[in-house]
Amino acid sequence: MKKLIGFITATLGLSCIPAFAEETAVAAAPAISAGDTAWVLISAALVMLMTPALGFFYGGMVRKKNVLSVLMKAFITLAVISLQWVIIGYSLSFGEGGKFIGGFQHFMLNGVGQEGSNYASNIPGLAFMIFQAMFAIITPALIFGAFVERIKFSSFLLFTVLWSTFIYDPVCHWVWGKGGWLGAMGALDFAGGTVVHINAGIAALVTAIVIGKRKNTGTLGPIPHNMPFTVLGAGLLWFGWFGFNAGSALGANGLAANAFVVTNTAAAAAALTWAVIEWFYNGKPTVLGTVSGAVAGLVAITPASGFVDVTGAILIGIAVAAVCFVAVSIVKGIFKYDDSLDAFGVHGVGGMVGALLTGVFANPAVNALGTGTMFGNPKQFMIQLISVVATMAYSFVGTFIIFKLIDLTMGVRLKEKDENIGVDLSEHNERAYTLIE
């Protein structure tokens, strides 16, 4: 009897081992967080809103005969890059490749599913993918602010796809992809100051120079036809930017809260600073200047939002407003390039200021992954400088080649008569405003 009891006990004990091992394995597997997933998906929706908001922000600043063409560019970019991203863009950006570009293993989202990924185990891979898609969409949309009112729609479409594939995707991999060389070097870019704003801003400068100035703009230049549109767009951009920056924490956590707070703080500081500078410089503060300051502040805090405290945010906001005001109001006039809506002056210059000052004000008490010069790590500023210069150089040369090839093969500039008629009619056969008696 004793032997029988011992045999049964041993058998039962052994039978529990696989079950226990299975439970241990399940417990060890990283769990998907419902709260984090919800926050990232909401943030993706907020960032998606920023592209049509950009259409209104830009659209109010052009002449009324061209406003629909600006809105069209924003919406078609949303459509085209959504497809480019799921087909190949995500794989090139976040696939496992070398130091400079990802691989092809995620072509058509192969291997990207409902489980966590090696970028964020707490949310589904699909949630991370679609959040990053919204960054990929708005980046080329920022560029068209430099050449609106004079580019062929077909050339714009081709440029957008080629630029996203050969410029945005590699730079994204450099900074955020596994094995990317700038990320491995320690470059800090929490939400896209380098990847998005410097990258797009330099491209904007190149395209503005290559395509040439607008025609028949008058001695004072083009007059914004609808400032309320621009203010609406700026307000929606500010709103969406909370998803842009706080969503980059990839979780509903303290780091997201910090990013949210410093984003609002920097935008407020920059808007007020620009208004005050303009007041002293021109005698009156303007609505256009104030909202431009807010956008500049949002741009500059983007790379720093997960690394700085409110003191750093205020200083970044003040600094970027002053620097961008000089770039837009003085430097552009000296060099006489027609960056139509100051895509370079605000996004390019603002991105540089933000990226460099991240290396100064990054506070390890906010994020242990970033320590700036003010907290005992002067090397971080040099790393930031390298990342800025490398991105500028690559974007400048690559954009010039792409834009020039398109110009040589199919042309980028509208005919003068079509430009005079307006892009809305000549390219889309529509009018924004029709009076019916």
Distance of CA 201 to the CA centre of its chain: 11
What count of Cα atoms within 13 Å lies in the side-chain half-sphere of residue 294? 19
pLDDT digits (tens), the chain, 437 positions: 444 444 444 443 434 434 434 444 444 556 999 999 999 999 999 999 999 999 999 999 999 999 999 999 999 999 999 999 999 999 999 999 899 999 999 999 999 999 999 999 999 999 999 999 999 999 999 999 999 999 999 999 999 999 999 999 999 999 999 999 999 999 999 999 999 999 999 999 999 999 999 987 765 667 899 999 999 999 999 999 999 999 999 999 999 999 999 999 999 999 999 999 999 999 999 999 999 999 999 999 999 999 999 999 999 999 999 999 999 999 999 999 999 999 999 999 999 999 999 999 999 999 999 999 999 999 999 999 999 999 999 999 999 999 999 999 999 999 999 999 999 999 999 999 986 54
Read off the pTM.
0.92
Task: Classify residue 360 by its DSSP letter.
Answer: H
pLDDT of res. 311: 98
Task: Classify residue 124 by its DSSP letter.
Answer: B
* The amino acid at 79: A
Residues 175/195, Cβ–Cβ less than 8 Å: yes
C-alpha span between 85 and 91 (Å, rounded): 8
Backbone angles phi, psi at 68, to 5 degrees: -65, -35
* Closest of 97, 126, 122 to residue 111, by C-alpha: 126
Residues 318/283, Cβ–Cβ less than 8 Å: no
The length of the chain in residues reads 437
Give me the residue label for tokens 């898609």. 133
Q: What are the chain's domains?
A: 33-428 (1.10.3430.10)
Residue 411 makes CB contacts below 8 A (sequence gap 6+) with: 152, 155
